Structure 1
Amino acid sequence: MNRIDRISAILIQLQSRRVTKAQDVADRFGISLRTVYRDVKALEEAGIPIIGEAGVGYSIMDGYRLPPVMFTKEEAISFLTAEKLVEHLTDTANSANYRSAMYKIKAVLRTTEKDLLEDMDTHIEILQGRRTSTINPDLNVIQPILKSISEAKVIALKYFSNHSQQHTERLVEPVGVFYLDGYWHLIAYCRLRDDYRDFRLDRIQDIRLTEENFSRKHPPLKNHLKNWYEDKDLQEVIIRVNKKAVPYLGEQKYYSGYISERHMDDDTVEMIFLTGSIEGFARWYMMYGDMATIVKPDKLIDRVKELIENISAKLVGTEISC
């Protein structure tokens, strides 16, 4: 990127936020802080009213507005792709809001770009897989959650816990939402459990934004994700299951870390999992052990053998009465 394009991009970045740190600009363009200072000075010399405060960052004076920014073809197509994703992977309200924003974006596009988007619209589709969760369309849960985060409002949830098979009512303080493996999740401080919890949005049966504010300072969402997901010691497991038994695994395979599968020539299906608990996987495998074979790892094989020996020992001398 030449300097003129970079300076223009920096100006757009400054307009996108109330305060922008010099380090953020440097990281985005892969330049030194000294170069950032020089580029910002060039903008100031061009008459852009930039306010800079040491240790805080840069901002543009309130009331200053630039003409609408023109988008490249590639940027316009990326908007269209995002629109498809939002439409299929979020709730009705969020999709409607994004669609409204897209109308405003399309309004400032050149005629050639508008024609391009109309043509490309038929060439991009999002198909929902078997694992994609279905959020109750009447709830529109994402918008209330995001509003509660921005206003620090407590949320009242009616939630179904799949693990305990219980329906509960909870007051939670939301931290953030994220999308993982076909499901939307909410990380929130649960007052019922007095701890942070991961709530699947498709298991929320009712949601209500209360008038109660919370003052507790919560760690950023990325901290929770790093502790709960990124740092897990996930281990690869490969098993081969008789094709006739595959339907019986159903949704349970996803809770055991199912990743993919391929059909073999010997009437079996090879399944690949990533699991954080060999113990838990071994006990789940025992339910279908007579119809499946463990390919790897060896420690899973050893643990299943131990479980079988323990069960056999408890069955010795046991009389079965009718």
Structure 2
Amino acid sequence: MNRFDRITAIWICLQSRKLVTAQQLAERFEVSIRTIYRDVRTLEEAGVPIVSEAGYGYSLVDGYRLPPVMFSPQEALSFVAAEKLMENFTDKALGAYHRSAMDKIRAVLKNNEKELLSRLENHIQINPLHAPINDSLPETLDILLRGISENKIVTVDYQSFHSDEPVERDIEPVGVFHEYEYWYVIGYCHLRRAYRQFRADRMHDIRLTDRNHTRKHGELEEYRKPMQTEVAKTEVVIEVKKDAHRYIKDRARHFGFVSERDKGEVIEMVFHIQDLMDGFPRWFLMFADKARIIKPGIVKKRIRELVGKMSENLE
């Protein structure tokens, strides 16, 4: 990106947010903070009313607006992919809001850009492996996001993996994230009196209350990292033949994959596993004829048990 394009992009970025830091701009445009300082100064000299708050960041004077936004053909085409993703990876309510926003964006496009979008939209298909949201709750993400933005408690009827019936939980949602084809929310759970992680498709009901959060919460990443490390995990090492490695690599991260090493005829793969009895062993059986367990012995024992039960069922 040349300097002119970068300064224009900074200008647009400043209008799209209430406050943006020099560090955020530097990371986004992959330049030094000193370069950002110079670019901002150039905008100020050109008459753009920028407010600089020491220790906080930059913002535009309230009420200042850019002229109508013009999109490049490449930017316009990216809208189609975004629309398909929103249709398939969010709930119906959020998808409807996005379609409404897209209609407003399309309205300012040139006729040739509208034609480009029309030609492309029937040539992109996205089919998720799982439904990321319970189909009976079309406003799940919408309610969770409102709970976060409005600091309101959300009540959910949640069925964990190990329970037979859903349990009512009052949670103060901190943030949502998409991982391994599912949506999750992290929030303070009043029942457990601790921060917990909930999977959206396991919610049987969800309601936004008028009760405010009882505490001040940090950003999402502050809670994700501790949750990823607080559960004790066991290191599992396997060796996989190279002709099978390419097929299992895509799903390996879902089962705790952390690293691998080429050993000539085989690939050594290392996993950090929480569920040694079901999740990993049952997945391993899919390609067990092309791989072997190096350690630990407990996983070998569990796989032998599963193979024995399979043999009995085939008699």
Which category describes the TM-score, using the shorter chain as reference length?
A: 0.7 to 0.9
Who is 1:82 aligned against? 82
How many angstroms does 1:218 deviate by? 2.3
How many angstroms does 1:155 deviate by? 0.7
How many angstroms does 1:194 deviate by? 1.2
| Aligned-residue RMSD, C-alpha | 3.5
Q: Does 1:227 align with 2:222?
A: no
Who is 2:49 aligned against? 49
Who is 1:32 aligned against? 32
How many angstroms does 1:89 deviate by? 1.1
Q: Secondary structure at the match of 2:166?
A: strand
Who is 1:277 aligned against? 273
How many angstroms does 1:82 deviate by? 0.8
TM-score norm. by structure 1 comes to 0.77
Q: Secondary structure at the match of 2:227?
A: helix
1:303 aligned to 284, 293, 298, which one? Answer: 298
Please list, as runs of the form range in 1=range in 2, the aligned pairs for 1:173-212 lying within 5 A after superposition.
Answer: 173-212=172-211
Relative to structure 1, the CA distance from residue 64 to residue 297 in structure 2 (aligned partners, 3 Å threshold; closer, same or farther) is same
1:12-37 CA distance string (max 9 Å, x none): 01111111111211222222222222
Read off the aligned partner of 2:99 and give its amino acid letter.
R
CA distance in 2, matches of 1:165, 1:237: 34
Please list, as runs of the form range in 1=range in 2, the aligned pairs for 1:103-118 lying within 5 A after superposition.
Answer: 103-118=103-118
Relative to structure 1, the CA distance from residue 172 to residue 282 in structure 2 (aligned partners, 3 Å threshold; closer, same or farther) is closer
CA distance in 2, matches of 1:284, 1:108: 51
Structure whose alpha-carbon radius of gyration is higher = 1
1:107-130 CA distance string (max 9 Å, x none): 11111111100011011111132x
Q: Secondary structure at the match of 1:173?
A: strand
CA distance in 1, matches of 2:274, 2:183: 26
Who is 1:13 aligned against? 13
CA distance in 1, matches of 2:75, 2:223: 32
Q: After alignment, is 150-159 or 162-171 more displaced? A: 162-171
Q: Is the 8 A contact 1:71 1:109 kept in 2?
A: yes
Who is 2:244 aligned against? none
Who is 1:71 aligned against? 71
Q: Is the 8 A contact 2:239 2:291 kept in 1?
A: yes
Relative to structure 1, the CA distance from residue 307 to residue 95 in structure 2 (aligned partners, 3 Å threshold; closer, same or farther) is closer
CA distance in 2, matches of 1:275, 1:170: 33
Relative to structure 1, the CA distance from residue 279 to residue 153 in structure 2 (aligned partners, 3 Å threshold; closer, same or farther) is closer
Read off the aligned partner of 2:155 and give its amino acid letter.
A
Read off the aligned partner of 1:82 and give its amino acid letter.
A
CA distance in 2, matches of 1:229, 1:76: 38
CA distance in 1, matches of 2:143, 2:279: 39
Read off the aligned partner of 2:184 and give its amino acid letter.
H
Please list, as runs of the form range in 1=range in 2, the aligned pairs for 1:256-275 lying within 5 A after superposition.
Answer: 257=255
Q: Secondary structure at the match of 1:93?
A: helix
Relative to structure 1, the CA distance from residue 63 to residue 41 in structure 2 (aligned partners, 3 Å threshold; closer, same or farther) is same
How many angstroms does 1:59 deviate by? 0.8
Relative to structure 1, the CA distance from residue 283 to residue 123 in structure 2 (aligned partners, 3 Å threshold; closer, same or farther) is closer
CA distance in 1, matches of 2:107, 2:189: 43
How many angstroms does 1:8 deviate by? 0.6
1:30-61 CA distance string (max 9 Å, x none): 22222222211211121111111221211111
Q: Secondary structure at the match of 2:18?
A: coil
Relative to structure 1, the CA distance from residue 308 to residue 182 in structure 2 (aligned partners, 3 Å threshold; closer, same or farther) is closer
1:209-264 CA distance string (max 9 Å, x none): 11110141223212333333489777465799xxxxxxxxxxxx99x8399xxxxx
TM-score norm. by structure 2 comes to 0.78
Read off the aligned partner of 1:122 and give its amino acid letter.
N
CA distance in 2, matches of 1:138, 1:115: 35
How many angstroms does 1:132 deviate by? 3.8
Read off the aligned partner of 1:206 and give its amino acid letter.
D
Mind listing any 5+ residue stretches in structure 2 that lack a counterpart? 242-250, 258-267, 305-315
Read off the aligned partner of 1:49 and give its amino acid letter.
P
